[in-house]
Structure 1
Amino acid sequence: MNFNNKNVLITGGTTGIGLATAKAFIQQGAHVMITGKNVDNLQKAAAEINDIKLKTVVSDTANLTDIGTLEKTIVQSGKKLDVLFLNAGVSKFATIESTSVADFDLQFNINVKGLFFTLQKMIPHLQDGASVVFTSSATSTASHSQLSVYSATKSAIDTIARVAATELAERNIRVNIISPGPIDTPILGKAMSADEAKATQDFYKTGGLIPLKKIGTPEEVAEAVLFLSATTSSFITGASLSIDGGTALRR
């Protein structure tokens, strides 16, 4: 895959899947812009990638003003986007009974509202023939305990993506979804304690949930994003690609 001089925007690009995907695009010659709400994390990502083809932008996906600022940054660059990877997201583990209003709003504001309006603002700045990729989750069609709100946000993302694929087809803009299963990223550590995160990962590996008996890597997900963004997948739109080690087979 060759992305020489292609322009890529990745929301939530400072860690995990976003960071791995930024690295992969840059290795293939792309100019990449990543967003994050934490300045320190953006600086760490920039230092780790250490390439002049990377640009960082402070932007909180949950903040509509920040989304407007991101749009201005794109306009000021004078470049249209060839790839938009809508990856920013957050999860909170809680039963329905114990879910707080604050955690409900947090997940919907970032995962759904922020994603929707980022897409809305970026559509005029997409090249005809561009590719848009959404990060959903294997949980969007599952019913795992303590993930009711997170799963609901990912189901909403799937629907938004399919409608976008329909609406943008006339410009030959393809819109696809990646649905990762258990991936070794910092998201678990943010949603639970270190001991709980380790126990969860151990269960994934040995509890029969994943037929391949391993946790996926951000790099494996990144390769899928690049595939869906490349001309080799030019007849694929509105699709959801599971990257879950066979997790869906166990439902």
Structure 2
Amino acid sequence: MNVNPTDEQLVAYLDNQLDSEQRQRIDAAVAEDPMLGLRLQWLNRSSLPFKSAYDELVNQAPVDRMQAMLDTLPSATRPPLGRRRFLAAAAGLVVSGVLADRLFLSWQASQENDNWRQLVADYMVLYIPQTLDHLPNDEATQRSQLHTIETSLDLSLSPVQLALPRAEIKRAQILEYDGVPIAQITYLDPVHGPMALCITRSNSGSRHFVRERRHGMNIVYWAGMQHAWMLIGHNPAAELEAMATTLRGRLSA
């Protein structure tokens, strides 16, 4: 087992597919590295609702049509199992085929517009002040981390542009979900705790501020011609929007 487990190993850990020695190594690594614990919780929270999707598919199965087909079979060639069991098995085959693909694609499309904000909220709800307060915050470190974001998202960012009253920049990093890069600039507000400015690519056109709440946190999000932005934290919604206004003015200049 590597000192820094891969996502595949962490998923196997969550699925109870590791032996006791491998589990103990990951337990020890999580105890030593809080960020590894965040990764583990992130993977655990990122499961798609397959059960509810398949339940809906069973409800959509064309049972009447399959019953009619069954009734046309000569009695000698009918399956020996009862009709109820046969229909359930047939519905199961339908679920595993075209209808499953159709329902999943429908679910995926309905989530496309706001899924990245939900992913960020799932991640941010795990943060506490102790997650961030030990991180270096000198300007050289900030510029180095911001350079990674600039390269991934074709942006120009500086610590001065991102500065907010009271809140201190603690880390800038690139995350990735399903091949899509998401930048996260994390702040520590001494009054309200962790907050973050997150950025991803977008071609949906300019959008003014919209507010929402997820996991008890306030969110303000907006979009330009090439990027979508969101500011998330436990700060009051009006305060968060005032910060977003400041950031938008600087970053669009």
- Asked whether the two chains share a fold, i.e. TM above 0.5, the reply is no
Larger CA Rg, structure 1 vs 2: 2
Q: TM-score, normalised by structure 1?
A: 0.23
Q: TM-score, normalised by structure 2?
A: 0.23
